[in-house]
Amino acid sequence: MRWREPRIAFHAWRDKIEQFGVLVFQANRVEPDEASGFAYWAETLPVIVVNRKDVFARRVFSLIHELVHLMLHQSGVSDLDVDAARPAHDEMVEVFCNAVAAAALMPKDIFLAESAVVERGPRRHEWTDNVIQSLASTFGVSRESIVRRLLTVGRTTEAFYTSKRAQYHDEFRAQKEREKDQNADKNMARNIPRETVGDLGRPFVRLVLENFRQDRLTLSDVSGYLGVKVRHVPNIERQIGYF
């Protein structure tokens, strides 16, 4: 709750999860309406992938959601859309993962103790956009996650949640269209080392570079594993603090 910003929350959660031996990657070639993330279970170095095209608040929820899949020793692709048709068992698992992620990010007792929630009382209400945004900032999650949590704890109605969910999805699509139009004629300068570390995560990049330094991998191998040209490798080493 001290982070107050989804970007900071995402990096903090990611760092903590990586400390437990999970590789966290970010996909940058998948559209948000295709998948928000997926998990690949393995005894050694299990993998979580979240969609870099999602806003940070949504990535935070995806990260914890996928972690729950790994805790169940399961692989799977998740779009966080619990209303979509899927096999009964898969739906049960997705609902469970969403519930655990919500409980982890917005613990019930703490959530209900927030002054904005206390003031409205223990009934089902409609909520203003300002209050929803304030709660989203407090817990470092998306507005949709907040409204869903309000529904789960009995503080709003299914109809209100459905309407706000549709509103947020429309706003997200409109924002993406505006960004697409704004960037259409721009040649955006890329920072390949920063992008590489951001997408692949420091543990994976460090693992590859350490094996290169111990002559277990060639420079060509490193280029292939990191998906970059050889000339970028020294700057990637600097990015993770080798120089």
Q: What is the pLDDT of residue 243?
A: 58
CATH architecture of 1-105: Orthogonal Bundle (1.10)
CB 22 within 8 A of CB 48: yes
Residue 10, CA atoms < 13 Å, CB-side half-sphere: 24
Domain range annotation of the chain = 1-105, 106-182, 200-239
CB 142 within 8 A of CB 169: no
Mean pLDDT by 10 residues, the chain (243 residues): 87 96 94 88 96 92 95 82 68 89 95 95 93 93 93 95 93 83 71 95 96 95 96 94 72
Q: What is the pLDDT of residue 184?
A: 65
Q: What is the pLDDT of residue 3?
A: 84
Q: What is the pLDDT of residue 179?
A: 78
Residue 29: C-alpha distances to residues 34, 56, 164, 189, 199 (Å)? 10, 16, 28, 18, 11
Position of tokens 């993406």?
176
Q: What is the pLDDT of residue 4?
A: 76
Q: What is the distance between the alpha carbons of residues 149 and 161, in angstroms, rounded to a whole number?
A: 10
Tokens representing 228 are 């970059």
- Tell me which residue of 107, 134, 141, 106 sits closest to 120, measured CA to CA: 134
Which H, E and C letters describe the chain, residue by residue?
Answer: CCCCCHHHHHHHHHHHHHHCCCEEEEECCCCCCCCCEEEECCCCCCEEEEECCCCHHHHHHHHHHHHHHHHCCCCEEECCCCCCCCCHHHHHHHHHHHHHHHHHHCCHHHHHHCHHHHHHCCCCECCCHHHHHHHHHHHCCCHHHHHHHHHHCCCECHHHHHHHHHHHHHHHHHHHHHHHHHHCCCCCCCCHHHHHHHHHCHHHHHHHHHHHHCCCCCHHHHHHHHCCCHHHHHHHHHHCCCC
In degrees and rounded to multiples of 5, residue 26 shows phi and psi of -120, 125
Q: What is the pLDDT of residue 85?
A: 66
Kindly report the pTM of this predicted structure. 0.86
- Tell me which residue of 92, 139, 141, 91 sits closest to 114, measured CA to CA: 139
